[in-house]
C-alpha cells in the first residue's frame, strides 16, 4: 500500500510547484504549450501524438493507483486527519490537521474525484479533436489549445485539492 501511495501522491517540493505541483501537471502543461503548433499549422505531427500517449499513461497510472487506494479505504490527504504521532513530529500544533499540517477538509475527496473525471473527459475530447472524428479536422485543431489548457487546469487542481483545504475545513 505504501508503494501505491508513493506512486499516486508524488509531488514536487520546489519553487516551480506553483506552476506544476505534480509530474502529471508538468506533462499537461507541456502538452498545452505544444498544442499551439498543431492549432496554427492545422496538422498534427508524430511528436505531439507520442506526447499525448505519454500524457495518457501518466493520467492512467495515478487513476489506477487511486482507485486501488480508494477501494482500500484511503482518501486524499487533505481530507484525512494525520496521526497524533505524525503531527507531534512534523507540525507545530496537534489537532484536526492533515499530514501537510493544514486543516482537514473532507469535501476535498469528492473534488479530487471530480477533477480526475474532468481530466479523463478532456483527454477524450483532445483525442476527438486530433483525430477529426466528430468535427472537421482543421476546425478541431483550432480548439486544441483550449482543450489542453482545460486539461492542465484539471491536472493542477487534482494536485492542489489533495494538499490544501477548501472553504469548508472541519465540516
pLDDT, tens digit only, all 171 positions of the chain: 788 888 887 888 777 777 888 899 999 999 999 999 999 999 999 999 999 999 999 999 999 999 998 898 888 888 888 888 888 888 887 678 888 888 888 888 889 999 999 999 999 999 999 998 888 888 889 999 999 999 999 999 998 888 887 766 655
**Residues in CB range of 138: below 8 A, 6 or more apart:** 42
This prediction's pTM: 0.89
Distance between CA atoms of 163 and 152, rounded to whole angstroms? 17
Amino acid at each position: 500500500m505504501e508503494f501505491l501511495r508513493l506512486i499516486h501522491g508524488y509531488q514536487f517540493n520546489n519553487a516551480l510547484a506553483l506552476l506544476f505541483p505534480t509530474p502529471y501537471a508538468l506533462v499537461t502543461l507541456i502538452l498545452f504549450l505544444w498544442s499551439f503548433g498543431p492549432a496554427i499549422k492545422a496538422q498534427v505531427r508524430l511528436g505531439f501524438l507520442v506526447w499525448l500517449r505519454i500524457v495518457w499513461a501518466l493520467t492512467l497510472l495515478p487513476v489506477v493507483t487511486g482507485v486501488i487506494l480508494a477501494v482500500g479505504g484511503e482518501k486524499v490527504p487533505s481530507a484525512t486527519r494525520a496521526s497524533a504521532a505524525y503531527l507531534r513530529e512534523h507540525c507545530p500544533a496537534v489537532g484536526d490537521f492533515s499530514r501537510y499540517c493544514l486543516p482537514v477538509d473532507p469535501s476535498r475527496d469528492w473534488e479530487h474525484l471530480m477533477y480526475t473525471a474532468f481530466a479523463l473527459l478532456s483527454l477524450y475530447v483532445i483525442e476527438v479533436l486530433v483525430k477529426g472524428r466528430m468535427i472537421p479536422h482543421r476546425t478541431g485543431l483550432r480548439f486544441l489549445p483550449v482543450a489542453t489548457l482545460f486539461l492542465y487546469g484539471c491536472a493542477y487542481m487534482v494536485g492542489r485539492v489533495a494538499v490544501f483545504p477548501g472553504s469548508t475545513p472541519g465540516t
